[in-house]
Amino acid sequence: MRSAACAVVLLLMIYQGEALRCNYCFGKGTTLCTPTSVQTCSPLANACGAVILGSPLNSSFRQCMNMAVCQGYIKTPGAFASCCSTDLCN
Ligand SMILES: *[C@@H]1O[C@H](CO)[C@@H](O)[C@H](O)[C@H]1NC(C)=O
C-alpha cells in the first residue's frame, strides 16, 4: 500500500503541474551569467540554483537542479552557489 501511495504522489507531481520555473543561463567568467531564459523544471529538480565556479573553471550557470545537488555546490570549495525553491528565484 505504501508504495502505491508513493506512485500516486509521483504521478500527481508529474501530471498536475506544480512545475518550478527557473532562470537559465550559462556563461564563462567569474560573475553570474546573463542574459537568462526561463526553464521549466522536471519534477526531480525541486530547486533553482545559481552557481559560480571560480578559478580555474571560471564559469557560472543558473538552472533547475535538485536541492541536494545545489547544496553540494554550496559546500564545494571555490564555488559560490545559491539555492532556492520558488519560481524564478535564482
Ligand atoms: C580564471 O580567473 C582567474 C582570476 O580572475 C584568472 O587568474 C585565471 O587565469 C582564469 N582562468 C582561466 C582558465 O581563464
Q: Ligand 1 centre from 60 Cα, in Å? A: 13
Structure confidence at residue 75 (pLDDT): 97
Range of the domain at 64: 19-84
Inside any domain, residue 79 = yes
Judge residue 17's burial from the number of C-beta atoms within 10 Å of its C-beta, 0-12 exposed, 13-18 middle, 19 or more buried: exposed
Give me the number of domains the chain comprises.
Answer: 1
Q: Which long-range contacts (CB under 8 A, 24 or more apart) does 38-44 make?
A: 38/88, 39/63, 39/64, 40/64, 43/10, 43/13, 43/14, 43/19
Q: Identity (one letter) of the amino acid at 7?
A: A
Inside any domain, residue 90 = no
Q: What is the pTM of this model?
A: 0.79
Contact 50, 32 (CB under 8 A): yes
Inside any domain, residue 4 = no
Q: Ligand 1 centre from 80 Cα, in Å? A: 16
Structure confidence at residue 2 (pLDDT): 67
Grouping H, G, I as helix, E, B as strand and the rest as coil, residue 27 is strand
Atom of ligand 1 lying closest to residue 28 CA: 14
pLDDT per position as a tens digit, 3-55: 666 565 555 554 556 799 999 999 999 999 999 999 999 999 999 999 999 98
Residue nearest atom 13 of ligand 1, based on CA coordinates: 56
